[in-house]
Structure 1
Amino acid sequence: MREQPPYRRFAEVLRSRIENEEWKPGERLPSRAQLAEEGGVTTDIVRRAQEWLITQGVLTGRVGSGTYVAEQRERVRVVHSPEREQAGQAPFYVDMAALGRRGTSESRTDGMVPATPDIAARLGIAEGDYCVRTSYEYLADGKPVQLLTSWEPYSITAGSLVILPETGPLAGAGVVRRMAEIGITVAEVEERPDAGHADADEAHLLGIQKGALVTRIRRTYFSDDGRAVETADIVVPSALCEIIYRFPVTR
């Protein structure tokens, strides 16, 4: 078995001391020089160990102040299941209601945004075709836990009451119900999860450290005739959300 690098071994030492409550949540750690002397390692090893623990959500860094034990937030359970897609509202609100949490969101919609090559391929449209793009920040009890950017072909909803996802009589109702309003039956949803690290903008919006572990989900809704009617990029921070997939077994 490959031996762990020195900074990872020292990171586990720090993690153990934190778990033993030598330093409590919100408390600042000693200086890197002091930790290096105590552990018999270099300050560079201490720095790399702290950076690793920051990406794991164990520590948090404050510019000009030092490194602190992160104050833990309760993880939100997000259950991906057929039921959440059939509830007549956006899946996030279904998840929060099931947990007894208050789910809210902040959003911004831009109409007639040209599709990038990647988005065009996912939606089966030509590059540069117009889309309605909506960016969401989802909150549980007022705290951010998830980001989502949605793209819908402008040609599908243009001139209808549901062209803007968060405006009109079906604001916040979710893709499935909104499409049903204009006679489109959503029959399938595809999700592709992948592991990643938060960039600076994502970290700022979610209140986590840059580089923290996240799950990126590429989601696409398809109508019963196989047409892609919406695609979205979802960012779920691992320290704040637990993702569960639950589906019935056909006998």
Structure 2
Amino acid sequence: MSTSRGRELKPVRNLHLQLADSLRDRLRDGEWRAGDRLPTEAQLSTEYGVSRSTVRGALQLLENQGRTRTRHGLGTFVAAFGGEIKTSLQELQSMSDIIRSHGFEPQMQYHRASVRTASEEEIDRLHLAPGAEVFATERAVLADGEMVAFSYDTIQTSLLGDDFDPDAVSGSLFDLLRINGVIPTTAIAELHAVVDPTIGWGERAPDGLYLLLDQIHYTDSGVGTLASKTYFAEGRFQFSVRRVR
């Protein structure tokens, strides 16, 4: 589907998610500033050639992420942001994409990255055969140079190809999976508040509070691809959940 801005939304992904991505790009590019009113549902529907229900779904995602505020009878307005990064638990995105969508520059600092035999816990979580190998990483996630999370991740190496080189990995693990033709479409996640001085490395508060997002990512066919335990520093990320009755 083409738009008047020369963009194309591909049918392989839900249209409201693609539309939300496009609107986030326009917000990041400064097309609308804090306090500005976005075009109406009818205007966006015409511009992108999609239904108003698709527009409504995209705008709801932006509001869930704290990017916009809807004032009934007045329209949808760009929210004023502080330094925090906001995201919705309903939407599956890489941390790099989330950080970038807020206008910050993401960076992954790899503390450790190696191929090793899967532990019993990893075998159970990813439904692997005994003796299977995984690519295991420990990363610090940064936004504009500021640490926002520590992440401990494992990917079954059978998904990464015969010529996989763990030393060559430097960016998003979602991108690593994508270039190998593996697209996680679903994640099962648990949230826990954690205080643990052994989390992370380098300079950090010994009694720092973290929000642990413990999740396993799956493909459409139900293959477990990536198991991750990501500890978000308190106050750096804000998660939202849309609740309906």
**How far apart, CA to CA, are the structure 2 residues paired with 1:84 and 1:220?**
11
Distance 1:108 1:135 in 2: 5
Which of 146, 149, 156 aligns to 1:143? It is 146
Q: Provide the residue aligned with 2:86 in structure 1.
A: 78
- Cα distance change, pair 155–109 in 1 and its aligned pair in 2 (3 A): farther
Deviations 1:200-249 (A, max 9, x none): 453x44x43212221111121112221101101101121433223469x8
Partner of 1:211: helix, strand, or coil? Answer: coil
Q: 1:201 to 1:215 in 2, by over 3 A?
A: closer
Q: How much does 1:108 deviate?
A: 4.3
**Is residue 190 of structure 1 aligned with residue 181 of structure 2?**
no
Contact 1:108-1:134 within 8 A present in 2 as well: yes
Indicate how the Cα distance of structure 1 residues 103 and 122 shifts in structure 2: closer, same or farther if over 3 A, else same: same
What are the superposed Cα offsets for residues 10-54 of structure 1, whole Å, 9 maximum, x if unpaired?
xxxxxxxxxxxxxxxxxxxxxxxxxxxxxxxxxxxxxxxxxxxxx
Give the percent of matched residue pairs that are identical in Structure 1 and Structure 2: 13
Q: How many residues align?
A: 164
Equivalent position of 1:243 in the other structure: 239
Which residue does 1:71 correspond to in 2? none
CA distance change for structure 1 residues 123 and 141 in 2, over 3 Å: closer, same or farther? same
Partner of residue 172, structure 1: 171
In the alignment, structure 1 residue 217 sits paired with structure 2 residue 213: yes
Does the residue aligned with 1:131 lie in a helix, a strand or coil? strand
| C-alpha distance in 1 between matches for 2:236 and 2:214 | 19
Cα shift readout 1:134-175 (whole Å, capped 9, x = no counterpart): 2210112211110111101122213156x64x837xx63542
CA distance 1:78–1:159, shift in 2 (3 Å): farther
| Aligned twin of 1:97 | 100
Specify the alignment match of 2:162 in structure 1: 159
Give unmatched runs, 5+ long, in structure 2: 1-81
Contact 1:213 1:239 in 2 (8 A): no
The alpha-carbon distance between structure 1 residues 111 and 80, as it changes in their structure 2 partners (threshold 3 A), is same
Q: Helix, strand or coil for the counterpart of 1:152?
A: strand
DSSP-derived class of the 1:235 partner: strand
The residue number in structure 2 matching 1:229 is 225
List gaps (5 residues or longer) in structure 1.
1-73, 86-90
CA contact (8 A) 1:219 1:233 kept: yes
Query: Which runs of structure 2 are paired with 1:36-115 in the superposition (5 Å)?
Result: 76-80=84-88, 85=93, 91-108=94-111, 110-115=113-118
The structure with the largest alpha-carbon Rg is 1
- Contact 1:84 1:95 survives alignment (8 Å): no
Contact 2:96 2:172 in 1 (8 A): no
Instruction: Call closer, same or farther: CA 1:78–1:119 in 2, change over 3 Å.
Output: farther
SS in structure 1 of the partner of residue 168 of structure 2? coil
CA distance in 2, matches of 1:83, 1:101: 19
* Conserved? CA contact 2:159–2:182, under 8 Å: no
- SS state at 1:186 partner: coil
**What SS does the corresponding residue of 2:185 show, helix, strand or coil?**
strand
Matched residue type, 1:113: R
Question: 1:197: Cα distance to partner?
Answer: 0.4
Shift of 1:180: 4.2
Tell me which stretches of 4 or more aligned residues in structure 1 moved more than 6 Å. none
TM-score by length of 1: 0.55
